Amino acid sequence: MSSRMKNCIVRFYHLLLFVVLSPREGNDPEDYSRLTYRKLLEETCRFANVLKSKGVSNGDKVVIYMPMILELPIAMLACTRIGAVHSVVFAGYSSDSLADRVLDSKAKVLITADGVWRGEKLLLLKNICDEAADKVTKHGHRLESCIVVAHLRRLNNPQGKTKGVNGTSNGTAMEMANVSWDDDRDVWWHDEMEDAEASCYPVWMAAEDPLFILYTSGSTGKPKGVLHTTAGYLIYAATTFKYVFDYHPGDIYWCTADCGWITGHTYVVYGPLANGATSVIFEGTPFYPENDRYWSIIDKYKVTQFYTAPTAIRSLMKFGDHLVKKHNLSTLKVLGSVGEPINTEAWLWFYNLVGHGKCSIADTFWQTETGGHVITPLPGATPMKPGSAKMYYPNSELAREAHCGSMEQYKRMHESSIKDPTQFWGEIAKQFYWETPAIEDKFFSYNFDLSKGDIFIRWMEGASTNISFNLLDKNTFPFFGVLPELLDEDGRVIEGEGEGYLVFRRPWPGMMRTLYGNHQRFQNTYFDRFNGFYCTGDGARRDADGYLWVTGRIDDMLNVSGHLMSTAEVESVLAEHSSVAEAAVVSKSHPVKGQCLYCFITPTAGTTFDEKLQGELKRKVRERIGPFAQPDAIQHAPALPKTRSGKIMRRMLRKIAAGDRNIGDTSTLADETVIQLLFELRPCV
């Protein structure tokens, strides 16, 4: 292990010593606490020692299936500390989805909690883990340890009777938290922590060693294990956090994302911690105990940066402005949006009401694969347009005044990066990763051609991937070093105004390195469609001012409330039902969720398509994938529109789902009468 790499990691962990109090807010408003960086380091070390005692070492995979409690980031950091690779699975996924992910990563250790309250719903996570463990055993894999946080027990049932989740409805949380136990496998977190040492020397990792795996939906149905590495991801998380949220010491930052998604990884855990930030971590939902929970938390902790999703904004808008106005939100400076395109109405509501007409809105476009923001405005520097992943100021003078500090900062930064392209990433890397100037030259090697603005950076010793940027690119909208292009069907670059496939020309530090266990799929999915470009799978439009508007997925993926999933994975679950001969799933726009699932079902001969079947199919998708994937509509389709070669015409199904009779050319269909029939059978949704 080289001394500079050691320094880099020590630097990261030194940050954990800062005496900064980060608040944690439970599902119940009375349940809150604060954590210092010193305490976080101590707990991280303790848990790292627990992991070691379970036989976890450098390179091992650990699956984490937990609610948004402090033990979740502690578990992630503990893995990192000993070089283990965490794979966090969102605790809203079903036991099947969890089992798939455990099997794919071949993890031997699973970390979970007895259960969690989400609003008034109780989720019994340990039971879901038990089901998943049985499933993986059937596939010949054994989970050796399951470490369980006694979260419900700790809460001592403050909420009384459950309202019923997963079909269970009676009994108190305590009774229900009497989880089944396998003495050979299961241990309580608190028992293990009691005897664990509070210090743990970190295991030194090379720049390109894996940091974590995070599964995201793939268009063929099987989830993809996106793999991020140590140095590039961390530097990118740290840098984008600092500049995109314009974070300064004293600010109180809050990102509402769950750590089960990439936003939670980069902008709840790694980005804020690497900056020594104070941030709020929230376990509950925006609707409990009342529909003003978000606004009351902003008020309670005097939040300055608030980062959330359009679906949350849309669902809160409908409760009326008075719930927002009830609270003092004047501390807010920067608002962030992520996960899906934000519609103008939601943007304006966010800007005018939540941001009291003075905050910058950072509409950040990025993906699990990109590790951090790739197309984003910088607060106070990029004029905002509602709904573009950019900003403009509806009231420019006022807003510019409010942000002149960051505007100056941005201008300086941008000018300096243009004058000396080595400076930007070099300085940034220094700032975050090491303190001793003597080692800096060995840390990176630079190679640049000022006339072209190319910068070529070799990462830390041992790095297998070198990274180059062009910092002179005229487009100021992408984050530094990111070069987006729009391509047409044939891969030709679209200059100026137009619409096409959103791709990136060059890599950046935080970019994924592979799909775990399947490098070929990595190549096929992201690089084969357009040779020489990273293909996002999204479409985008460039307007006359050069602003990019991400229009959404152009592959068979859909985005329900910011959760990305593939139509194929839902279709395969539906097709397993004995009464289903064929299923085709498309997306339909939804006023709150952005998009929802609309399913066409061809029943097997002799089966009646009735409400019972529809209910069973919805339940099946919930159980197999997770509650967030439940279809909104299941339509009877005695036949599907197919070409003569048997290909389902999803474009037409999307029109039928939307009730749009402007279906276009149907002459390629084997049977054109299907379209009329499907319109007639269309349910009122």
Write the DSSP symbol of residue 54. Answer: T
Strand partners, 458: 445, 466
**Long-range interactions of 469-473: CB distance < 8 A, separation 24+:** 469/421, 469/425, 469/506, 469/508, 470/421, 470/506, 471/417, 471/418, 471/421, 471/424, 472/418, 472/421
Tokens of 340: 């899906």
Rounded Cα distance between 486 and 464, Å, is 29
Cβ proximity of 595 and 588 under 8 Å: yes
Burial 654-677 (b: 16+ CB within 10 A, else e): bbbbeeeeebeeeeebeeeebbeb
Site for ligand PRX in 180-209 (CB under 6 A): none
- Listed ranges 8-16, 546-554, 574-582, 654-662: which one lies at the site for ligand PRX (CB under 6 A): 546-554
Closer residue to ligand PRX, CB minimum distance, 278 or 368: 368
User: Cβ of residue 673: shortest distance to ligand PRX, in angstroms?
Assistant: 35
Closer residue to ligand PRX, CB minimum distance, 48 or 548: 548
Count the residues of the shown chain that bind ligand PRX, applying the rule CB under 6 A.
22
Closer residue to ligand PRX, CB minimum distance, 28 or 543: 543
Site for ligand PRX in 321-380 (CB under 6 A): 338-341, 363-368
Closer residue to ligand PRX, CB minimum distance, 341 or 484: 341
Closer residue to ligand PRX, CB minimum distance, 323 or 550: 550
User: Cβ of residue 364: shortest distance to ligand PRX, in angstroms?
Assistant: 5
Per CB under 6 A, 569 contacts ligand PRX: no
Which of 558, 564, 637, 649 is the binder for ligand PRX (CB under 6 A)?
564
Which of 205, 262, 467, 657 is the binder for ligand PRX (CB under 6 A)?
262
Tokens of 422: 């080595």
Residue nearest to ligand PRX (CB): 368
Rounded Cα distance between 676 and 681, Å, is 9
Per CB under 6 A, 219 contacts ligand PRX: no
The site map against ligand PRX for 263-292 (x = CB under 6 A) is x-----------------------------
Closer residue to ligand PRX, CB minimum distance, 342 or 613: 342
- Listed ranges 17-25, 203-211, 433-441, 545-553: which one lies at the site for ligand PRX (CB under 6 A): 545-553
User: Cβ of residue 482: shortest distance to ligand PRX, in angstroms?
Assistant: 14
Question: Distance of alpha carbon 295 from its chain centroid, rounded?
Answer: 22
User: Cβ of residue 341: shortest distance to ligand PRX, in angstroms?
Assistant: 4
User: Cβ of residue 353: shortest distance to ligand PRX, in angstroms?
Assistant: 20
Per CB under 6 A, 484 contacts ligand PRX: no
φ/ψ region of 357 (left if φ > 0, alpha if ψ in -120 to 50, else beta) reads left
Rounded Cα distance between 349 and 379, Å, is 18
Cα angle, residue 394 at apex, residues 322 and 376 outer, rounded to 5°:
95
User: Cβ of residue 562: shortest distance to ligand PRX, in angstroms?
Assistant: 6
Which of 143, 389, 407, 637 is the binder for ligand PRX (CB under 6 A)?
389
Using DSSP's 3-state secondary structure scheme, residue 293 falls into helix
Per CB under 6 A, 243 contacts ligand PRX: no
Closer residue to ligand PRX, CB minimum distance, 209 or 363: 363
Rounded Cα distance between 282 and 68, Å, is 7
Helices (H), 528-610: 567-575
Per CB under 6 A, 567 contacts ligand PRX: no
Question: What is the β-pairing status of strands 109-113 and 61-65?
Answer: parallel
Cβ proximity of 381 and 341 under 8 Å: no
Q: Which of 111, 366, 347 is nearest to 233 (CA)?
A: 366
Residue type present at position 253: Y
Closer residue to ligand PRX, CB minimum distance, 23 or 339: 339
Closer residue to ligand PRX, CB minimum distance, 67 or 339: 339
Rounded Cα distance between 395 and 360, Å, is 11
The kind and range of the H/E element at 413 are helix 404-419
Closer residue to ligand PRX, CB minimum distance, 117 or 267: 267
Which of 553, 577, 650, 655 is the binder for ligand PRX (CB under 6 A)?
553
User: Cβ of residue 339: shortest distance to ligand PRX, in angstroms?
Assistant: 5
Cβ proximity of 111 and 67 under 8 Å: no
Using DSSP's 3-state secondary structure scheme, residue 649 falls into coil
User: Cβ of residue 340: shortest distance to ligand PRX, in angstroms?
Assistant: 5
User: Cβ of residue 517: shortest distance to ligand PRX, in angstroms?
Assistant: 19
Cβ proximity of 190 and 214 under 8 Å: no
Strand partners, 282: 25
Helices (H), 549-597: 567-575
Closer residue to ligand PRX, CB minimum distance, 478 or 537: 537
Q: Which of 565, 627, 516, 632 is nearest to 91 (CA)?
A: 627
- Listed ranges 149-157, 433-441, 533-541, 656-664: which one lies at the site for ligand PRX (CB under 6 A): 533-541
Which of 536, 561, 567, 595 is the binder for ligand PRX (CB under 6 A)?
536
User: Cβ of residue 561: shortest distance to ligand PRX, in angstroms?
Assistant: 11
Rounded Cα distance between 454 and 460, Å, is 19
User: Cβ of residue 322: shortest distance to ligand PRX, in angstroms?
Assistant: 28
Rounded Cα distance between 196 and 502, Å, is 49
User: Cβ of residue 281: shortest distance to ligand PRX, in angstroms?
Assistant: 18
**Residue count of the chain:** 685
Per CB under 6 A, 537 contacts ligand PRX: yes
Per CB under 6 A, 514 contacts ligand PRX: no
Cβ proximity of 212 and 87 under 8 Å: yes
Which residues sit at the interface with ligand PRX, rule CB under 6 A?
216, 262-263, 338-341, 363-368, 389, 536-538, 550, 552-553, 559, 564
